[in-house]
Homo-oligomer: A and B are copies of this chain.
């Protein structure tokens, strides 16, 4: 059975699913390159009527947003995260990079503050 060897999806106690390190990760490690689906600005109003409002990332400066594939949509928020999401606009990827050494078994978190519209409203209670 083939699976991503260094990332595990597990239920967390309070935040629904989360991503956990399957091995020790070090500052600068590229944890994942997440392909994205870009949603043009004119469609965002429709997306906001759905559960995907809780998931999308801002994309560029023109009002587009994106859905992160890979495990990009499942990393939970932390005010003091151990990873960072970097938008690669030309390549249509989000790069998840380790910004603090992470032990095997530890949850991998990012900050939604700069990257998600919905963050202040929901991230403490979301089920994902």
A interface residues (Cβ-Cβ under 8 A, vs B) = 1-6, 9, 17, 25, 29-33, 35, 37-40, 43, 46-47, 49-52, 55, 67-74, 128
Contact = CB atoms under 8 A, between A and B. Distances in A.
A14 to B, nearest CB: 18
Contact of A73 (B1, B31, B69, B74): B69
B39 A52 contact: yes
Nearest to A34: B69
A17 B37 contact: no
Given A30-B1, A47-B50, A128 B70 contact: no
A35 B9 contact: yes
Counting chain B CB atoms within 10 Å of each CB, the highest count among A39, A43, A68, A73 belongs to: A43
